[in-house]
Amino acid sequence: MRPLRSLARGLHALTRRRDADQDISDEVRHYLDLTAAAHERCGLSPEAARRAAQLELGNTTVVEERVRSFGWENVVETLFADLRYGLRWLRSNPGFTAVSAITLALGIGATTAIFSAVNPILFEPLPYPHPERIVGIRYAFNEAGAGEQSFGTFREVAVRSHSFDAIAVMKAWQPTMTGPTEPERFDGQRVSAEYFRVLGVHPGIGREFDPADDRPNGANVVIISDGLWRRRLHGDSGIVGHQIRLDDALYTVLGVMPAGFNSVVAPTAEVWSLLQYDPSLPADGREWGHHLQMFARLRAGVSIEQASHDLDAIAHTPVPEFRRPPYASMQHGLPMTSLQRQITSGVRPALLGVLGAVFLVLIIAAVNVTNLLLARGAQRRGEFAMRVALGAGRTRLTRQLLTESVLLAVIGGVLGVAVAAVGVRALIALSPSDLPRLDAIGVHGTVFVFALVATTLIGLAVGVVPALQASRHDLQATLQHSSRRSSRQGTRRVLVIAEVSLALVLLAGAGLLLRSLERLFSIAPGFKSSQLLVMQVQATGRRLDDAGTNRFFADALDAVRRVPGVESAAFTSELPLSGEGQTERYAVRFENDATPADAPPAWRYGVSPGYIETMGIPLIQGRTFDRGDLTQVASRPVLISESLAKRKFPGQNALGQRLRMGGAADRPWDVIVGVVGDVRQLSLATPQAEAVYATTAQWMWADRAQWLIVRAHGSPASLTAAVRNAVWSVDKDEPVVHAMPMDAMVALSEAQRRFVLIVFEAFAIVALALAATGIYGVMSGSVTERIREIGVRSALGATRGSILGLIVRQGMTLTIIGAIVGLFGAAAASRALITLLYGITHLDVVTYVGVTGVLLAVSAAACWLPAWRAARVDPAITLRAE
């Protein structure tokens, strides 16, 4: 009843203010009249009675105001008045409004865009039920390094562990769908049967995998994504139980995943089929290759620590039922982390760095606008004084100014969300392709809340200093004319110093990243990337047998070599820096090993003869492959990398030594026939280069996806179409993907660093521009306020040069203080970037000197204009103005 009544009365007063006011003044007048009448009855004359009544009541207007000011509607009304006034003021200062709003829009927009990208990756839980229970389990090769699992280890863990509701392994799979329409290659995964139970998502239509099918020659079954189902199969729910053609084999569709389902471990995957590895674990199959990702869902109530103990116990107590080859002995354990951590750990430093950078930009933007507001405040002194004289209290004035700044921030915020929407698209376009959870990035929900909160806080933050200053100083406004200047200018100077120092922190970050990238790209990758064209060719279906696959690649190679402009060409199962590393590593055993060590595995390159030459990898010792190495032999010739040779055979001849890579314990040893230079496989920054090369033709199985590398006489890109057609002239149904010059592939391998660098550079430029504007603004203000002094100086004979120097010196003093503070800040803040740096420390002197130089140059330019104006002051005019 009461709140309702209050609401109704308030609304009435708001909507019909005039009536409400009339009522109040009627009531007061009536009271006055009755008081006067009473006095008259006591014998006073009408005039005296009136006077006495008025005396008793006090000022009628004040009483009316007191009555009127009761009620919530007054707060709303003042707010509206403040808003109206604020809007009018902003409209009458279009230049100021535009500059401030755009500055804030850039700050809020950039922050919102970055937040929208970082939030789903780092902070939001994964989009599955109880995501905290999903963990990734890796195989530790030694104390420092961990990586992919073998199927054999998975089998043992799956049977022996008691901590998991479900556990699965998976690998990438890229089947091609053939059928009535043109062939399309999909990203997919080969998974073990419990895959979807680990994620906790079930097919929307149909059913999950049956563990009974997960064996060699089991039924060909597939589960497809909602997107694929709608795109290629017309969203026909009758598809379940029917067959589709993948890689020339028929697969029965078991189910369709619900719309919106996305596998964070393989975001682009649209088809899932079973691994169908051999549970009897033959020693010479892929079952023991470290190439599978393993993850699991913890049992409810089991913590990661408990599950880790369980896994440790399994790893350190082998049982006879589970034979372990030396390269899968688990002696270093099975490290486990939450899946969220595992998939984001690679990008976490980069994203946190970018997030930090954008907050700096936001702060600089806010400081800049604060400065603008302060400058405006100086010009509005007269207005404030007038308002105080008319009875505005200090809080009232503060509120008015805060309303204005929040209003400004809201305009900036609205523009900022638009900036963010564009920015997010740019970010996604720029972002390295391995960024997880790209699909979840966008401007919605949480992001809007973030933008709203940021806007409000910024509005209050930028307004509070100017508002307090204005309301404080206006009390003494008319009294002290000159002392006011120093304090107001003082605040502005401190703010400019802050801006300069923050800008330097960003500049230093950008500089460090730039130098790192320069260093990285100056690293010799171990091969000659110029004039190389690469593309991935896949042998699908039809020739499922190994001989057919090898024949296809051999024929394709012959066809490619005949293309005019091709100098040489070769195939390899693994392309350095292609981002597909980590999948094919095998433990290497040497004949001279005293004990079968659990050594870190080496890369396996299945290559065609001519690969070493075409890539331009230097031959250190021995020979490379030739056509004679295309036939199956018992004891295979292999090449090893220089680093492997140096580690295993220091000071000895590696040639003729024998080794075994994977495979059965009783298969013949392979013979080292050559030593070749080290190649960077994972990234330019990772020197891990132990490798073994064998020809694909002599390997235990045929690699179905291989990289074609072509050395061109001229520009490699121009050969793309011709080379692709040559491959298709052999078989037009085989997909050819990822065609690009090797130089582009190398650049792509550093996409993450490059991404952070671009973001930092953009932010540093914005920060520098804002800081320069800040310096310019303060120096302009200072010149205006000192115009009389400057006039006197030049009247007393100061030269233009000396006045110019005076002002520039003043500005540069601010800059230098800011730069010193900034250098300390940068030294501390750049710690966050350490993992992204390469070849330099985060305290790289060259970078710091360089960016300080840039900053000083830009701020000198910013000081120049006001200084120039000061130098041209005509003493006669300024002195006469007094």
Partner 1 sequence: MDQPNTDVIPGTLDMLILKTLSLQPMHGFGIARRVEQISRGVFKVNPGSLLVALTRLERSGWLDAEWRQTENSRRAKFYSLTRAGWKQLEIETAEWSRRTLAVSRLLKAEG
State in angstroms the smallest separation of the CB of 45 from partner 1: 19
Strand 637-641 and strand 670-676: the pairing is parallel
- Given the DSSP bridges, would you call strands 637-641 and 602-607 parallel, antiparallel or unpaired? unpaired
Q: Cβ 35 to partner 1, closest distance in Å?
A: 7
Give residues 239-268 in contact with partner 1 (rule: CB under 8 A).
none
Output the smallest distance, CB 66 to partner 1, in A: 5
Instruction: State the nearest-atom distance from the C-beta of 771 to partner 1, in Å.
Output: 53
Using alpha carbons, select from 731, 738, 673 the residue that is nearest to residue 706.
738
**306, amino acid identity:** Q
- Complete DSSP assignment for 730-797: H-TTS-EEEEEEHHHHHHHHTHHHHHHHHHHHHHHHHHHHHHHHHHHHHHHHHHHHTHHHHHHHHHTT
Cβ closest to partner 1, residue 5 vs residue 18 = 5
Q: Binding partner 1 by CB under 8 A: which of 11, 61, 70, 841?
A: 70
Shortest CB 13 distance to partner 1, Å: 10
Whole-number Å distance between alpha carbons of 389 and 603:
83
Q: Which of 15, 17, 48, 66 binds partner 1 (CB under 8 A)?
A: 66
* Closer CB to partner 1, 54 or 688, in the complex: 54
Q: Is 47 in the site for partner 1 (CB under 8 A)?
A: no
Q: Tell me the three state secondary structure of residue 640.
A: strand
User: What x-and-dash track marks residues 485-504 binding partner 1 by CB under 8 A?
Assistant: --------------------
Return the amino acid letter for 874. Answer: D
Site string for partner 1, 3-42 (x = CB under 8 A): --xx--x-------------x--xxx-xx-xxx--x----
Within 8 A by CB and 6+ apart from 170, the residues are 189, 190, 191, 192, 195, 265, 266, 275, 292, 293, 295
| Closest distance of CB 53 from partner 1, Å | 9
Select 67 or 392, whichever has its Cβ closest to partner 1.
67
**Token digits for 693?**
């090369």
| Pairwise CA distance, residues 34 & 29, whole Å | 9
Q: How far is CA 745 from the centre of its chain?
A: 21
Q: Which amino acid is at 680?
A: R
Q: In the block, which residue shows the tokens 């021995």?
A: 622
**Pair type for strands 336-338 and 134-137:** antiparallel
Q: Name the minimum Å distance from CB 63 to partner 1.
A: 4
Q: Of the two residues 33 and 545, which places its CB atom closer to partner 1 in the complex?
A: 33
Least gap, CB of 8 to partner 1 (angstroms): 10
Residue with Cβ nearer partner 1 (25 or 784): 25
Nearer to partner 1 among residue 38 and residue 865 (C-beta): 38
Residues 69, 60: Cα–Cα separation, whole Å: 14
Cβ-contact 380, 418 below 8 angstroms:
no
67 near partner 1, judged by CB under 8 A? yes
Q: Are 224 and 303 in contact (CB under 8 A)?
A: no
CA 68 – CA 72 distance, rounded (Å): 11
Check: CB of residue 815 under 8 Å from CB of residue 859. yes
Q: Which residue, 63 or 820, is less far from partner 1 as judged by CB? A: 63
Q: Is 737 in the site for partner 1 (CB under 8 A)?
A: no
The DSSP annotation for 62-78 comes to HHHHHHHT-STHHHHHH
Task: Single out the segment in contact with partner 1 by CB under 8 A; choices: 56-64, 481-489, 637-645, 743-751.
Answer: 56-64
The piece of 51-59, 393-401, 425-433, 687-695 that touches partner 1 (CB under 8 A) is 51-59
Helix axes 394-430, 381-389, angle to 10 degrees: 140
558 CB neighbour count, 10 Å cutoff: 12
* 57 lies in the site for partner 1, by CB under 8 A: yes
Among 16, 19, 48, 58, binds partner 1 (CB under 8 A): 58
Distance (Å, rounded) from C-alpha 141 to C-alpha 334? Answer: 9
User: Which residue number, 58 or 853, has a Cβ lying nearer to partner 1?
Assistant: 58
Size of the site for partner 1 (CB under 8 A): 24
> CB under 8 Å to 173, separation ≥6 — which residues?
188, 189, 190, 271, 273
Smallest separation, CB 395 to partner 1 (Å): 20
Task: Pick one of 71, 218, 318, 579: the residue that binds partner 1 (CB under 8 A).
Answer: 71
CA 848, 854, 855, 857 torsion-angle sign: positive
If binding is defined by CB under 8 A, does position 91 make contact with partner 1?
A: no
CA atoms within 13 A on the CB side of 779: 31
Select 30 or 562, whichever has its Cβ closest to partner 1.
30
* Smallest separation, CB 51 to partner 1 (Å): 15
Residue of 148, 144, 151, 156 whose CA lies nearest to 315: 156
Among 11, 48, 61, 62, binds partner 1 (CB under 8 A): 62
Q: Which helix (H) or strand (E) holds 520?
A: helix 483-521
Using the rule CB under 8 A, give the single segment among 52-60, 137-145, 574-582, 689-697 that binds partner 1: 52-60
Which part of the chain contacts partner 1 (CB under 8 A), choosing from 62-70, 301-309, 538-546, 838-846? 62-70
Residue 76 CB, shortest distance to partner 1, in Å, is 15
Whichever of 55 and 857 has its CB closer to partner 1, that residue is 55
CB 216 within 8 A of CB 278: yes
Q: Which is nearer to partner 1, 9 or 472 (CB)?
A: 9
Nearest distance in Å: CB 391, partner 1 = 17
54 versus 306: smaller Cβ distance to partner 1: 54
Whole-angstrom distance, CA of residue 475 vs CA of residue 462: 22
Applying CB under 8 A, the residues found at the interface with partner 1 are 1-2, 5-6, 9, 23, 26-28, 30-31, 33-35, 38, 56-58, 62-63, 66-67, 70-71
